[in-house]
Structure 1
Amino acid sequence: MNAFEGLGLNENLVKAVTDLGFNTPTPIQVKAIPILLSGTTDFVGLAQTGTGKTAAFGLPLLQLVEAENKYPQALIVCPTRELCLQICSDIQEYKKYSRNIIAEPVYGGASIVMQIRALKKGVHIVVATPGRLIDMIERKAIDLQKVKYVVLDEADEMLNMGFRDDIDFVLKNTINRQSIWLFSATMPTSVREISKNFMRNPQEVTVGKKNTANVNIDHQYFITPAQSRFETLKRLVDFNPGIYGIIFTRTKADAQDITERLVKQGYDIEALHGDLTQQQRDKVMQRFREKSIQLLIATDVAARGIDVEGITHVINFELPDDIEVYTHRAGRTARAGKSGICISICHSREAFKIRQLEKMVNAQFHRLDIPSGKDVCRKQFFFFMDKLINADTSYGDYETYMPDLQKKFADISKEEVLKRVAALEFDHFLKYYENADDLNARTDVRERRFENNTSRDHGARRERPTFQRDNGYARLFINLGTKDGFFKASFLQFILDESNLKKEVLGKIDLRDMNSWIEIDKSAAGKMIKSMDGKKYNGRLIRMNEADGGFKKPPHEGRKRIPMNENRY
């Protein structure tokens, strides 16, 4: 008996999931499906990515929509094109025996004319990204008046990407809905506000603890000097020869720079960032899914919604500022019950961030030493030897060549053959790592105190670290803030992209509603001011200047002087 039968699903849907090899529902499916089948209950489901959320809402929708009425009855809103297509593909499989139900994806980067034409033919379920959906509504190409069920998938990601106004607009235009189903990996304040503003006594289900990371993920971090970050990345990749993973950077400039450097050194890697056309993006993702490339390097915005099976590693080239961003990055691995590794490359000043992340995601992070050159060579050597021993010789007429091979190697011992095979395969590694430097940052007193605290019981109260402020920093004011649609990660990426500076020159950032303060190395302050001041963002003139001892009123702006003590970090 298939356990899905006990959830109240009809025979056609149970048969479809059985054909897919699913006999036991995941925890979120067990808790969500019976509630959602009522069709009239607002619902909040908190669960990590890769836990079967699509089936949790997709199966009930297929059972609830009325096949005879060919107009949009269900609307699924998700953050990215990739996730939109993935959800639609999954629904196609679930409706294998419910052929009269039509689901249509609506997303940017494709012909809107073709999508409008498909909607006019009649659909039951629309899966859409926020931007293209708003475009369809404004063109009156889609009628939401009869939509009964609205699903917000990856709600926290959509809000992090700045789609709050779009979501509000959609919910205000589905006035005859019977229920809203909100699914999210985390529950920040912004997601909670949607629940309060638009939902009626929602039933909330949590799988695992809120804002926690997947228990199957091993969180590792390596501390290195800031200038050794790239070499550390390269060494960690070399130390994991079977790696199939995603490397996250803060900016598209970093993503492109690292990709170019690694490609020149022979690595199978491609970048995914905002400068790519949709066609280029599709090509990169297709190659990655087919494992034609071993590594994908991406910014957080570009990687939203990526759902690829079998990712072994996620590498944070730099730690993100927001806990939700870290959770989503880590969630690209260890999907569908598998295990995975999330690696973070840090410098010594970021040790406190690791402690904050540990507390927030309720998981222990393990500090490891960066492998030495000899460690890398040894790991690569044994990985190759395992491949050699396990090589499949059942295909091909190798026996034909054996007499010649035996004659050729008659005077060479087995040990000598193995040595020469190793020399051919590892000559470049041995030369590169022959005199490799130690990339580990020296541990100071503060870090040792952190390590001692970590070695205690994981839930114990830790001593709060104190840090002296670096007097080599200048403090800059800028008249942009959260009211301009920024979150910490997107704001950081914006200022780095515009100024073409590296993250290492920045200190702390204090992001406010209408303005922000930025700590920056004094040597880079002038360049940032020059690149930002006087430009426009969404029609608003940007003002940036150095705040020496307090905020200096910019020209033409009648704001009050803000004393220094109001801007403490």
Structure 2
Amino acid sequence: MTFDELGLQENLLKAVQDLGFSQPTPIQEKAIPVLLSGTKDLIGLAQTGTGKTAAFGLPMLQLLNPEEKHPQVLVVCPTRELCMQIVNEVEIFKKHMKGVHVVAVYGGTSISQQIRDIRRGVQVIVATPGRLIDLIERKAINLEEIQYVVLDEADEMLSMGFQEDIEFILKNTPRRNATWLFSATMPPEIRSVTKRYMKEPFEITVGTKNTANKLIDHQFCVTTAQHRYETLKRIIDFNPGMYGIIFTRTKADAQEIAEKLTREGYDIDALHGDLSQAQRDKVMDEFREKTLQLLIATDVAARGIDVSGITHVINFELPDDVEVYTHRSGRTGRAGKTGVCLSIVHARESFKIKQIERMVQVPFHKVEIPTGKDVCRKQFFFFMDKLINTDISHGDYDTYVPMLQEKFADMTKEEVLQRVAALEFDRFLRYYENAEDLNLRHTDRRDDRRQERTPDGRADRKDKKFAPSSGDMVKLFVNLGTKDGFYKASFLQFVLDLSDLPKDVLGRIDLKEMNTWLEVDRKAAQKMIGSIDGKKFKGRRIRMNEADSVRR
């Protein structure tokens, strides 16, 4: 099928042709004809990077009335980055349409300017939930005029705690003709929202629900817990052309690893919750422009990042939830390109790989951690290719050739090449000269258990969530649960970020609808309680205390 057969009007077809596209992606082919009816609710399930913006953007532009200068379409998405990306794409689609205006509405910038933009007359508003609610409360936008509501990356919005905001928006758009929901996965929370606010929605699934992208090579390597950082370094060195994102569980890990790698000469920066909006924008601009080769991020900070050309996603640690893995891996393998998602695990996490493999329905490949010689060889070939492909057409290098020939007259060509190689590779050769094997072999497992013991002989509490509790742990009660929009990974990050404690202090987490019970290392329990008890979450006071006191 071609775009000509989908029922789009001429000015939109021309914009698509200007982009060089003739055939729609599967989600576009299935969604566009349904959405053009203008009266059908739709659920579109597809991985990120499959062309969802065009799937809803083209029909919404065709359905709106350019003569009416008030908001007719509302697109809600989880993050500022995704908000800006959608606006940029819609601007391209509407380039041959007159009188159509789009405005982006998000936090971290002047709300006054955004209000002025809306009052000038716009037909399409693309907004993050928090800033949209601010505008509603200031009576700067009238939702009753909205005819179409698009919820993009709905699963990410729910996992970030925006369920109440989304339901408020849907309750207050009574005249909408249709609701279009797009998501990579379909957790129960989304299903319940669709049942309450959508009428017999037409459901489209590209691929299988909750599965990972088939264009991604899902890999894992096994090492000891203490060699995780060294393994990460070796993977980066073995892939000199890598342009990737490294995921950690906590902002402390992200910052620490970024600082270590920066000191060792890598082009990397961290993205986490402690950054201001200006700092975040600076990091993202540098990453998009490829001034940075690598970005290290927490799951919350990386929501909605859409950067083209990412070759690798590296899980420094596996996430607790399969849906989080799907979102992480979805940063690569976009727009028909292939990518690699590589997870660094230790022996006791191998069962997690099997769980994720079953859930996302794609095979995982175990790969060997490269040896020092492998790294040097790969870097050498990469350098040779770079040397051969160097463009010498723009400089007056002929002027210097006679001087170079005179300078190197006493050397053979082989000796010159050896010196060039030594200049480039001396650091790698010295570093990896006596590099140890980082792969965890079957014979290493007892050693791994010994290495994961504390100086006084007790078992280290890494991955305690899967280990039996002991007298070293205290059970705490928190009055937050799944009803507040949490799942295990987001709750873990929430408590660690508030308390500024390392993840190793946590044990089992039992997340219930209204509250949560979690095990914490006895030495860290009071610090966690002091940091969290009494804080506010969505206007509600958080209560955290020892479970024994709750029972009493």
TM-score normalised to the size of structure 2? Answer: 0.92
Partner of 1:494: 494
Partner of 1:552: 548
> Which amino acid is the alignment partner of residue 527 of structure 2?
K
The counterpart of 1:536, out of the listed 521, 526, 534, is: 534
- Change in 2 beyond 3 A, CA 1:528/1:415: farther
- Change in 2 beyond 3 A, CA 1:485/1:25: closer
Partner of 1:307: 306
Partner of 2:461: none
Report which stretch shifted further, 238-247 or 490-499.
490-499
Cα drift, residue 446 of structure 1: 10
Cα drift, residue 540 of structure 1: 2.5
- Give the whole-Å Cα distance in 2 for the aligned partners of 1:372 and 1:22: 44
- Give the whole-Å Cα distance in 2 for the aligned partners of 1:383 and 1:517: 51
Partner of 1:198: 197
Answer whether contact 1:479 1:514 (CA < 8 A) is retained: no
How many residues are matched?
A: 528
- Change in 2 beyond 3 A, CA 1:484/1:181: closer
SS at match of 1:145: helix
- Give the whole-Å Cα distance in 1 for the aligned partners of 2:501 and 2:139: 44
Report which stretch shifted further, 40-49 or 253-262.
253-262
Q: Does 1:508 align with 2:504?
A: no
Cα drift, residue 367 of structure 1: 1.2
Partner of 1:517: 517
SS at match of 1:375: helix
Answer whether contact 1:79 1:154 (CA < 8 A) is retained: yes
- Give the whole-Å Cα distance in 1 for the aligned partners of 2:130 and 2:467: 45
- Where structure 1 has 5 or more consecutive residues not aligned to the other structure, the ranges are 448-466, 546-550, 562-569
Q: Does 1:45 align with 2:44?
A: yes
How large is the Cα RMSD of the aligned pairs? 1.9
Deviations 1:133-153 (A, max 9, x none): 000001100011111100000
- Change in 2 beyond 3 A, CA 1:244/1:9: same
Cα drift, residue 472 of structure 1: 7.7
Partner of 1:95: 94
Cα drift, residue 347 of structure 1: 1.6
> Which amino acid is the alignment partner of residue 535 of structure 1?
D
Answer whether contact 1:28 1:53 (CA < 8 A) is retained: yes
SS at match of 1:276: coil
Partner of 2:53: 54
- Give the whole-Å Cα distance in 1 for the aligned partners of 2:163 and 2:359: 24
- Give the whole-Å Cα distance in 1 for the aligned partners of 2:347 and 2:509: 18
Deviations 1:388-422 (A, max 9, x none): 11211222111111111112222212221121111
Residues 131-150 of structure 1: pairs in structure 2 closer than 5 A: 131-150=130-149
- Give the whole-Å Cα distance in 2 for the aligned partners of 1:305 and 1:541: 28
Deviations 1:284-338 (A, max 9, x none): 1111111111001111111111111100001111111111111111000010000
SS at match of 1:429: helix
- Change in 2 beyond 3 A, CA 1:223/1:505: farther
SS at match of 2:150: strand
The counterpart of 2:523, out of the listed 521, 526, 544, is: 526
Answer whether contact 2:15 2:92 (CA < 8 A) is retained: yes
Report which stretch shifted further, 50-59 or 423-432.
423-432
Cα drift, residue 445 of structure 1: 11
> Which amino acid is the alignment partner of residue 20 of structure 1?
L
Cα drift, residue 494 of structure 1: 2.1
- Give the whole-Å Cα distance in 2 for the aligned partners of 1:446 and 1:198: 52
> Which amino acid is the alignment partner of residue 530 of structure 1?
K
> Which amino acid is the alignment partner of residue 138 of structure 1?
E
- Give the whole-Å Cα distance in 2 for the aligned partners of 1:190 and 1:541: 22
Deviations 1:241-296 (A, max 9, x none): 00001111111111111111111111101111111111111111111111111001
Partner of 1:451: none
> Which amino acid is the alignment partner of residue 540 of structure 1?
R
SS at match of 2:8: coil
- Change in 2 beyond 3 A, CA 1:371/1:504: farther
TM-score normalised to the size of structure 1? Answer: 0.90
- Give the whole-Å Cα distance in 1 for the aligned partners of 2:440 and 2:519: 23
Cα drift, residue 348 of structure 1: 1.4
Answer whether contact 2:474 2:525 (CA < 8 A) is retained: no
Residues 239-278 of structure 1: pairs in structure 2 closer than 5 A: 239-278=238-277
Q: Does 1:221 align with 2:220?
A: yes
> Which amino acid is the alignment partner of residue 217 of structure 1?
I
- Give the whole-Å Cα distance in 1 for the aligned partners of 2:487 and 2:335: 30
Residues 109-508 of structure 1: pairs in structure 2 closer than 5 A: 109-443=108-442, 469=468, 474-482=473-481, 483-508=483-508
Cα drift, residue 542 of structure 1: 3.0
- Give the whole-Å Cα distance in 2 for the aligned partners of 1:438 and 1:500: 34
- Give the whole-Å Cα distance in 2 for the aligned partners of 1:474 and 1:217: 40
- Change in 2 beyond 3 A, CA 1:310/1:121: same
Answer whether contact 1:473 1:519 (CA < 8 A) is retained: no
Deviations 1:4-42 (A, max 9, x none): 110000000000110011111100000000000001000
Identity score, percent: 64
